[in-house]
Structure 1
Amino acid sequence: MTISPYNRNAQAFFTQYQSLNFEQVHRDWISQLNGQGGLALDVGAGSGRDALGLAERGWDVIAVEPASELRRLGQSATSEKTIQWMDDALPELARIRKLSYRFDLILVSAVWMHLPPTSRQRAFRILTELLAPSGLLVVTLRHGPGDGERQFYEVSRAELDSFARQRAVIPVLLSDVRQADELERKDVWWETAAYRLPDDGTGALPTLRHIIVNDNKSSTYKLGLLRTLVRIADSSPGLILNRSDDWVELPLGAVGLFWLMLYHPLVLKHRLRQAPGAAGYGFAREDFYELEKLSPLDFRVGLALSEEHAPVVMRAIKVASANILKNPAKFTTWPGTNRQIFEGGSSRFPIREEPVRLDKKTLEQFGRFRVPAMLWDTFSRYACWVEPAIVNEWVNLMGSWEIRYSMDTFHQALQWAEGRRDTAFVRKMVEGQLSSGSVECVWTARNLRALSYDIDHCFPWSRWSNNDLWNLLPASHSANAAKSEKLPADSLLKAARPRIIEWWQRAVVGTDRESQFFSEAEAALPLLGSSPTVDCVFEGMLQQRLRLKNNLQLTEWLGM
């Protein structure tokens, strides 16, 4: 796509786009919104005019703009609205796809003519894969001569209709699909094409139901692998290494680590059978039983392990990872076939008698594990529904092998080790800062020295159990009580940005907690990258806030 002219002439394009309003440009399809809101994607957002028009109608919007100068102007003009800006572009939309969002509306306005014909079919497929059930895709097409500086290609609605037939999306009839150019440029006219996805279009849920309910199981391993992947998708989306059209690639060590956290209480605490008979388990060698001295929370992602415990945990992860590849990954197949659903490969590396941090880089050393993209997106979006189905089947399976225990015992053993709502260590950090200066409430900017204060889980613990350092923030008692279990609104979180970042810089950066802070954020927050900064962490928080709002439908808090 042509990007450089939009950077060179950013102010001129910004002024031109802002000379028209959202209703003028999009009056032919606005009625399709039916007064609803939801999650919208504005591809090629330019000045932010359309993103702003949608936000003012109650939509949460992600605005994608690859031209950095134009994006800067647009971001400044829309900073007061619930709009997240991202550097991304068609045909790949690689960063957007890593977020595993599904959009109720995707707007591609004045962009399609920049795409080479060879890229369009792929671009259309990716756009339709990003649609939520009943989601609407709107593409505006520019016809007429170019301006001599930007690259334009001929476009047609017939081509889009042919792509739509291949993707099983339904054309939406619009009353007036051809429009004159609002800027009155000679021989330029516009055409609008709109398409709607009738259902999720992936077959992911029937596939999951087959694995959970119908597939043959000689142990709980297949259920264990599914639940492990659901947990990673829900709590640690930042662990993704790569994403293609078909696959999401994870560190094999992360799969092994979450597996150990899952089976630790079942086998070491509750002594519950995970297969019929009295045979042992392939993943449970000597090092796994050594983990009985630890809690699953002692070896979660992001934590540092001592020289005493690191080799034991690393060897246990290695054995578990190898067993996952040899057993549940190998024998979990597509319905009616012998084709594996999951793929992976291990790597050889020495395990040394030295401390180690369980971060993304360390977990990648064990190898890589691949999950079909459509299943991963379902894990991410529907974790709160998929996981209970897995647990219910797991309980039934254990009950068929062991009749001495009640169903309550099985359910208790299968509770994920979330830890407790512990803010004591961050409270000590606040007290340390107060002893030498002042600390502000992140939500109200009031000085906490003269107030009773709390440590607030920015994203509520009751709905997303996360005790990471980045999620624990100093707040006045009154603000924390008012916020309660609500999610901070986008505008409120953005307004608190300077205070949140100042808190991190004072209390965390440059201390012995810094590595833990960034390792936890790298795993839990999407799109953080390999060289995170506190600004990157905050941008990741904005994306995670939007993800929680749309996946869990949380109530928002607008502040005091």
Structure 2
Amino acid sequence: MADYYSDNANALFKRYTALDFEAVHANLLPCMPDTPGAALDIGAGAGRDALALAKRGWEVVAVEPAQRLRQLGASYTEGQAVQWMDDRLPALEKVRALSERFDLILVSAVWMHVPGTQRERAMRVLGDLLAPGGRICITLRYGPGDGERDFHPVSRGEIEHLARQRALVDITPTKARGARADCQGRSDVAWETVCLRLPDDGTGALPVLRHIIVNDQKSSTYKLGLLRAITRITDGLPGMVLKRTEDYVTVPFGLVGLYWIRLYKPLIQGKKLPQIQGNVGYGFAKAAFWGLHSLSALDLRVGQAFDGATGRTVLEAIRDACHTVRKMPANYTTWPGSIEPIFIAEPSSLRLRQQPVRLDLETLSRFGVFHIPRPIWDCASRYACWLEPAIVNEWFDLMGRYEMRYRSEPTREALRWREPIRQTDAVRALIESRLAERPRPQCAWTATPLQSDRYEVDHCLPWTHWSNNDLWNLLPATRRANREKRDRLPAARLLDDARDRILEWWETSYLQTGRRAQFMIEADAALPMVEDASRPEAVFEGLQHQRRRLKQNQQIAEWMGLS
């Protein structure tokens, strides 16, 4: 099907863009949310609808599987808040991997191409991508095919049936129901619009997480520890996903073990705070765990390298942590009213050698894999900033039931997640070393050549909201731009305008220097959908996705550029 649209891309582009958005979607307009937000345009074609939505203030992800048509659409919408992706119904695998939700999903002139056997799955995927209160708008084509493409029968009744299965409500206005004439003047073709709304979260994941945090029986803090580790991974390391299916998101088991150690090390090594009922030990706190006493929690981070002896100790401690996670919290954290575990751990045998170690995706995958139900992963990713405090408060109260003799402040300090220190010195020195070059480095946001006494290092995604010192997130900026931007996100259009300057900075400062490996490891781990971090264009797409995730999840204010 995509071949037809690519082979005829030029003619289709002219035909589609000649039509007016408001004329084509007259029945859609009354159903649109009042406030623009995140929109997903499936089968975006030439970009007519994506462009119209962007001009109305929406941030649009435009999905189009036909390569040539996608390229024309990207050129047509250049300079607007539109990001293009190669994906398709019913799976929408790449879109779902973003763990985003959309306030508006437009499925225009697409549904008739989805075979009837795939429509139930397609509706489930669309429902999972919808934000609470969001709308799905589907246009149905009635009439014969053209002999060149596959068309399948459609009906409002089928859509309504599938919608009820997903707890979606049909909100199509009465006057907008029924078929209307084809805008291209074809007498044997008619169209109908169906608008659906999601009244609540729809996945059931939030009640499950609340049950684990608040209601689930706990003889130790281990269930909370596992849930907090997962929440931290979903929020900060979406690039560490190994595989994503209909049912599960799979990450390296070693990553879970690493974050487990980061959480428990300050509590046990530092404060000796009780984590289990009764005077018993901890299965993971063996010789290797105690051998990490000279390392801080920040030393135990993705991308960190160790020499032979230390590296072996770190890997042994992670192995012991993984064993405890599999035997205890992963085994006993079950679906409410069931004995079926929510999380599935599949360990691998690991031979430890005394050799240099880097905690990257390959190394952490040697411990096996850990499967997290997809709705749980998506929910933890979207609501991490709310889940984290709930977990910490319950953890604090639970320790009080085990041991009442500790003081509040030191305990809460031990529970605090060890964020990296805001650090820009290395990049600042790099900028300083390049000021003698011609042309001089430019401000990422204004294109102004930097001067030695008037530049700063800007966290593109603001430190206040997402503590990230990765090289890709540190950009050169004028003092005025950095101080006016403050803790706001760059607006989508501003980021797109800065694209070439950011790519040039990454290429010349990192990818062509000795910092190449560090840049790639950091981008792979922290940014979603970065398939090849050696390509700055791929990293930039990941940055765009992460910017949008932060905006949606934390409602961060945007910066439109210098006033």
- Please tell me the TM-score bracket, short chain as reference: over 0.9
- After superposition, residues 357-372 of structure 1 pair within 5 angstroms as 357-372=358-373
1:322 aligns with 2:323: yes
- TM-score of the two chains, using structure 1 as the length reference: 0.97
| Displacement after TM superposition at 1:299 (Å) | 2.3
| Displacement after TM superposition at 1:364 (Å) | 1.2
Aligned 8 A contact 2:33 2:104 in 1: no
What per-residue deviation string (whole Å, max 9, x for no partner) do you get for residues 84-136 of structure 1? 11111001000011111111111100001111221111111111111111211
1:338 aligned counterpart, secondary structure: coil
Q: 1:556 aligns with which of 551, 555, 558?
A: 558
Aligned 8 A contact 1:451 1:476 in 2: no
> Which residue pairs with 1:219 in the alignment?
220
Aligned 8 A contact 2:488 2:559 in 1: yes
- After superposition, residues 327-476 of structure 1 pair within 5 angstroms as 327-437=328-438, 438-476=440-478
> Which residue pairs with 1:258 in the alignment?
259
Aligned 8 A contact 1:345 1:368 in 2: yes
Percent identity over the alignment? 52
Count residues in correspondence.
Answer: 559
| Displacement after TM superposition at 1:272 (Å) | 1.5
Aligned 8 A contact 2:108 2:138 in 1: yes
Q: Structure 1 stretches (4+) deviating beyond 3 angstroms?
A: none
What per-residue deviation string (whole Å, max 9, x for no partner) do you get for residues 149-207 of structure 1? 22212212221122112222111233223110000123011111121112112221221
> Which residue pairs with 2:517 in the alignment?
515
> Which residue pairs with 1:36 in the alignment?
35
> Which residue pairs with 2:186 in the alignment?
185
> Which residue pairs with 1:484 in the alignment?
486
- TM-score of the two chains, using structure 2 as the length reference: 0.97
| Displacement after TM superposition at 1:353 (Å) | 1.6
What per-residue deviation string (whole Å, max 9, x for no partner) do you get for residues 35-89 of structure 1? 3212111100111111111122221111111111111111111122111111110
| Displacement after TM superposition at 1:231 (Å) | 0.3
| Distance in 2, Cα, partners of 1:42 & 1:498 | 25
Aligned 8 A contact 1:304 1:516 in 2: no
Q: Flag structure 2 segments of 5+ consecutive residues without an equivalent.
A: none
| Displacement after TM superposition at 1:401 (Å) | 2.1
> Which residue pairs with 1:176 in the alignment?
176
| Displacement after TM superposition at 1:451 (Å) | 4.1
Which amino acid in 1 is paired with 2:514? D
| Distance in 2, Cα, partners of 1:390 & 1:424 | 34
Aligned 8 A contact 1:398 1:410 in 2: no
> Which residue pairs with 2:544 in the alignment?
542
- After superposition, residues 250-329 of structure 1 pair within 5 angstroms as 250-329=251-330
Aligned 8 A contact 1:508 1:517 in 2: yes
Aligned-CA RMSD value: 1.4
What per-residue deviation string (whole Å, max 9, x for no partner) do you get for residues 370-403 of structure 1? 1111111110111111111000000001122222
Aligned 8 A contact 2:303 2:522 in 1: yes
What per-residue deviation string (whole Å, max 9, x for no partner) do you get for residues 495-518 of structure 1? 111111111111111333211111
| Displacement after TM superposition at 1:23 (Å) | 0.5
Q: Flag structure 1 segments of 5+ consecutive residues without an equivalent.
A: none
| Distance in 2, Cα, partners of 1:531 & 1:555 | 28
| Distance in 1, Cα, partners of 2:534 & 2:45 | 27
Aligned 8 A contact 1:459 1:487 in 2: yes
| Distance in 1, Cα, partners of 2:512 & 2:312 | 27
- After superposition, residues 60-79 of structure 1 pair within 5 angstroms as 60-79=59-78
Aligned 8 A contact 1:39 1:61 in 2: yes
Aligned 8 A contact 1:303 1:516 in 2: no
| Distance in 2, Cα, partners of 1:333 & 1:370 | 14
| Displacement after TM superposition at 1:530 (Å) | 5.3
Aligned 8 A contact 1:522 1:532 in 2: no
| Displacement after TM superposition at 1:26 (Å) | 0.7
